[in-house]
Amino acid sequence: MVGNGGRGWYAKVLAAALGVTAVAGLTSFWNAHVGSGERPDRGVAAPPAPSQDRKAASVAAGIVHASDAGARGVNITIDDGPDPVWTPEVLQVLRDNGVKATFCMVGTQARAHPDLVKAVVAAGHRLCDHTVSHDVTMDHKSKAYQSDQIRDAERMITEASGGVRPLYYRAPGGAFTPASRHLAASRGMRPLGWNIDSKDFERPGTNAIVDTVKNEISNGPTLLFHDAGGDRSQTVAALRELLPWLKEQGYSFGFPVR
């Protein structure tokens, strides 16, 4: 064991062996070659790391709807999961059609099913913070409550994913406030709205979900579906029909702009 008096000498020797200089150089080497984001997995020794609460670069606080795929782009967004039954089904439909989506996850669901969060990330989809408890009245609650809902869900999702942060924030039921939007944006999560509510949450039947999207596709690029909150078999069936149809109409699939 190296005593307190010898730690500086030891760090310099180790830094020299790695081809860098002094302790500051060792820290730079670690960040460059191991990673400067979240701490490595538990049980792996590492130099002192930045706080896990370190913010990403801030983004605009306005609610975004536009697609990075351009004028004929659409954004598929999937809310309220992950769910052990329906998220894998949705992922399979997306995979079959070569489509990437944005998954707006509830913090407690992400914490309960980290394997599914990792599967979403591994498939190339993006994460969105949908608060801890999906309280659709949070716009009537205190700023402190809103902050806890957003920050705690962000932490739960990031931990469940293995360190991948959510890039967006969607308020439950659209219950945005100026305070919640600016807080999310300051943490690198663009507030995310929608243009077309497929109404799948109400389970009106697969044909009704499909018809809603087809009739409203001119309203804008961001489509809202769900992979949790009950039986989502109609959603899966509707996506299986809608994704090829959207391609046939000349649409391409993207992510909400940041």
Q: Does the annotation mark 79 as catalytic? A: yes
Q: Does the annotation mark 140 as catalytic? A: no
Provide DSSP, 23-68: HHHHHHHHHHHT-SSSPPPTT---S----TTPPPPP---SPB--BT
CB 110 within 8 A of CB 82: yes
CA distance 139 to 157: 22
**Vertex 171 angle, CA 60 and 111, to 5°:** 105
CA distance 190 to 245: 29
Half-sphere exposure of 62 (CA within 13 A, CB side): 6
227 DSSP assignment = S
Q: Which residue among the candidates 41, 79, 113, 140 is catalytic per the annotation?
A: 79
CA distance 187 to 37: 14
Q: Which residue among the candidates 125, 134, 226, 227 is catalytic per the annotation?
A: 226
Catalytically active residues are: 79, 226
